[in-house]
Amino acid sequence: MSEGAGVQGPPLWRLLQHTAAAVQAVLAGKSLTAQLEAVPAALRPGTQALSFQAMRQLGRARALCTLLAPKAPPPAAHALLCSALALCWDEAQAPYPGHTLVNQAVEAARRQRSTQAQAGFINACLRRFLRERAALVARSEADPQARWNHPLWWVERLRREHPALAEAWLVAAQQPAPMTLRVNTARGSVAQYQARLQAQGMPAGQPVGAQGLQLAQAVPVHQLPGFEGGDVSVQDAAAQLAAPLLLQGLPADRPLRILDACAAPGGKTGHLLELRPEARVLALEIDAGRAERIHDNLRRLAVQAEVRAADASAPDTWWDGEPFDAILLDAPCTASGIVRRHPDVRWLRREGDSAQLARTQALLLDRLWPLLRPGGHLLYCTCSVFRAEGDAVVQAFLGRNTQAHLRPSPGHLIAQALGPVPAVGDNALGEHDSFYYALLHKGPPRV
Ligand SMILES: C[S@@+](CC[C@H](N)C(=O)[O-])C[C@H]1O[C@@H](n2cnc3c(N)ncnc32)[C@H](O)[C@@H]1O
């Protein structure tokens, strides 16, 4: 038995062991990010690549596993079998030839106590899969979770809520997200930054939006010219809409007082300060550990904000009574719009999560709205694709707040949708995460 496909890298069977552990953890409700952090550094990049692919194909793999083993083996063996099937079922996308993956999965099973006893069973299942691939894949196709690699409730909800875009969204969700940069245009134009990339022998990227640059291939951030000095940041194209949207139409002749209510890791706080460096920004974050990351981001950009670890829904614990000109509420949500970057999210969420989060989102809106100065803006956003966390929250809020006026907003931005574009409200703009944006203006009471 070879030690694996990588001549210099770690043996494949070891990567498969860690990938299977990650799959088992996600199926038990734990986040993939936390799992990957625990993987030894030398094995992490390989494990991440394989486990991202396994997450994207887990619906298919579980369906195939049920066909091969109607009585599921114990969790560790089940996770290893699913991981191998996820990686090898589609020959066109498999990272290694099928027989290599199968040999190495069996080796992985043999070499750890939790799966040793099932090594023969795993071997038999996977070899049967290689022999009967076409028929088994065709049978699995009847299961929508296999077809779309998302839970059934998710597929059905998408079809109900975004009928024209659901399938394009599901296809897009299977692709890795591009690396998108936000050029700090206070320091130089997007075109100038493209020239800097080219001068370093890197492709110039594709401009997107006012400050964005999409790279054809991801690169380590320290290779980006001027990254350490804050000339450029990494931020999805849809997320780059937040700061300009919130600031548009607000007074330009005085320093604004801005609240970024749910701020960590500070991507949008930094953008607000790039656009209005003189603004007095209060950045709140309930998780003290995550709040530290805001400091790191702002330091790199050489901008300043007051950062506090606090609960935005309890202003009496942190508000000094001075109203805000602008409030950014990037609310906690299911993160269902960023499955390309976090492919485990689809398997971690439960059907009732949106409704529960919607109650938190409504509470945050209700508690923060009184802190907004008349004439001010509150931008509500989530990186969720579900209407319960977008339109529904905002429409209900408008119903109970006559001073809130909805300004033209992107609404639900659907990632990389390829289908026909419906009227304003749902936007298919292309290569970006799925976000929801509603800009609320505080004006005279509606009658
Ligand atoms: C979507 S993330 C924010 C991303 C951030 N705006 C950015 O662009 O980098 C939501 C954040 O809100 C925080 N959060 C959740 N509930 C909160 C609350 N009640 N008060 C303050 N922060 C909260 C979460 O810990 C999480 O870091």
Provide the pLDDT for residue 432.
Answer: 76
Nearest to 223, CA basis, from 203, 206, 242, 241? 203
Q: How confident is the model over 11-37, as pLDDT tens digits?
A: 999 999 999 999 999 999 999 999 999
Nearest to 246, CA basis, from 287, 225, 275? 275
Q: How far, in Å, from the CA of 2 to the mean position of ligand 1?
A: 47
Strand order in the sheet with 324-330: 306-309, 280-285, 257-260, 324-330, 372-382, 435-442, 404-415, 426-430
pLDDT exceeds cutoff 60 at 417: no
Nearest to 413, CA basis, from 190, 218, 215, 242? 242
Q: How far apart are CA 258 and CA 124, in angstroms?
A: 62
Q: How far, in Å, from the CA of 39 to the mean position of ligand 1?
A: 26
pLDDT exceeds cutoff 70 at 341: yes
Provide the pLDDT for residue 424.
Answer: 31
In the chain, % of residues over pLDDT 70: 95
Provide the pLDDT for residue 430.
Answer: 52
Q: How confident is the model over 344-388, as pLDDT tens digits?
A: 999 999 999 999 999 999 999 999 999 999 999 999 999 999 999
Strands 306-309 and 280-285 come out as parallel
Q: Is the CB of residue 36 below 6 angstroms from any atom belonging to ligand 1?
A: no
Which of 82, 88, 333, 383 is the catalytic position? Answer: 383
- What is the DSSP code string of 4-22? -S-SSS--HHHHHHHHHHH
Q: Reply yes or no on whether 383 is catalytic.
A: yes
Q: Is the CB of residue 332 below 6 angstroms from any atom belonging to ligand 1?
A: yes
Picking from 73-87, 175-189, 367-381, which range would have the lowest pLDDT averaged per residue?
Answer: 175-189
In the chain, % of residues over pLDDT 90: 88
Q: Is the CB of residue 389 below 6 angstroms from any atom belonging to ligand 1?
A: no
- Residue 185 is which amino acid? T
Q: Is the CB of residue 234 below 6 angstroms from any atom belonging to ligand 1?
A: no
Q: Is the CB of residue 266 below 6 angstroms from any atom belonging to ligand 1?
A: yes
Helix (H, G, I), strand (E, B) or coil at 364: helix
- Residue 213 is which amino acid? L
Mutate to test the pocket of ligand 1, among 31, 281, 285 (most ligand atoms within 8 A of CB): 285
Q: Which residues contact 8 (CB under 8 A, 6 or more apart)?
A: none
Average pLDDT over residues 270-299: 97
In degrees, rounded to 5, the angle at the alpha carbon of residue 171 between the alpha carbons of residues 384 and 217 is 85
Kindly indicate the confidence band of residue 416, based on its pLDDT and cuts at 50, 70 and 90. low
Q: How far, in Å, from the CA of 65 to the mean position of ligand 1?
A: 38
Q: How far, in Å, from the CA of 125 to the mean position of ligand 1?
A: 44
Q: Is the CB of residue 309 below 6 angstroms from any atom belonging to ligand 1?
A: no
Provide the pLDDT for residue 9.
Answer: 83
Provide the pLDDT for residue 431.
Answer: 62
Q: How confident is the model over 382-400, as pLDDT tens digits?
A: 999 999 999 999 999 999 9
Q: How far apart are CA 355 and CA 353, in angstroms?
A: 6
pLDDT exceeds cutoff 90 at 219: yes
Q: How far apart are CA 200 and CA 225, in angstroms?
A: 8
